[in-house]
Amino acid sequence: MPNYLVVSTSGNPDSNSRRMGQAAFNWLKKAKLNCEWLDISKLDLPVCDADACYNHPAAKNITAAIERADGIIVATPVYNYDVSAAAKNMVELTGSAWEDKVVGFLCAAGGMGSYMSVMSFANSLMLDFRCLIIPRFVYATGDSFNGDKLAGTKLAKRIEQVAAELVRVTKGVRGK
């Protein structure tokens, strides 16, 4: 049976992307799948320095979690038309652990203008590590949330679709 990982890459304690990631994680758990949740704001990850950072215990732990996963959902905020710097740092720290993974995205942003911002990050995973990128992702703005909850069922359904597609594709790729 494949293993799944949902990673929240926001440093904001009131993060909408984390809420989205938690919804995907809950769906995977409800489906009784092997899945793990990581919130990188709680991991004390070092900044990648291309040297000693790789031996940091937190970097080793997140690398091991990514290596165990067959399918990964990255829940990320969008800042300045790109995924969070923490998401990019995570990839720099974990490198080849991403090889041949199936990856999906859940993105939260302040406005509709940066809905394609995840593509550069996705392309780097695809080209550098041969990740298979799910061709469906969720992009939501603040209007999709009601305080600390998802507003209505439309966003929840879209998140579930990404999680289900991740499972379907991962099973097909892994033959499991």
The CATH number for 27's domain is 3.40.50.360
What is the pTM for the complete model shown? 0.94
pLDDT tens sequence for the chain (176 residues): 899 999 999 999 889 999 999 999 999 999 999 999 999 999 999 999 989 999 999 999 999 999 999 999 999 999 888 899 999 999 999 999 999 999 999 999 988 877 788 999 999 999 999 999 999 999 998 888 888 888 878 999 999 999 999 999 999 886 65
Q: Please give the C-alpha separations between residue 110 and each of 100, 141, 142, 144, 156, in angstroms, as whole numbers.
A: 32, 5, 6, 11, 18
Rounded CA separation 159/16 (Å): 13
Sign of CA dihedral 123, 25, 88, 1: negative
E strand or H helix at 92, and its extent? helix 85-94
φ/ψ (deg, to 5) at 69: -80, 145
Name the residue type at position 92: E
Beta strand 145-146 pairing with 149-150: antiparallel
Instruction: For residue 68, give every residue at least 6 positions away whose Cβ sits within 8 Å of its Cβ, in sequence order, or none.
Output: 3, 5, 36
Rounded CA separation 168/176 (Å): 10
Rounded CA separation 93/9 (Å): 13
- Which tokens go with 38? 């990581």
Number of domains in the chain: 1
Range of the domain at 103: 3-174
CB atoms within 10 A of CB 153: 9
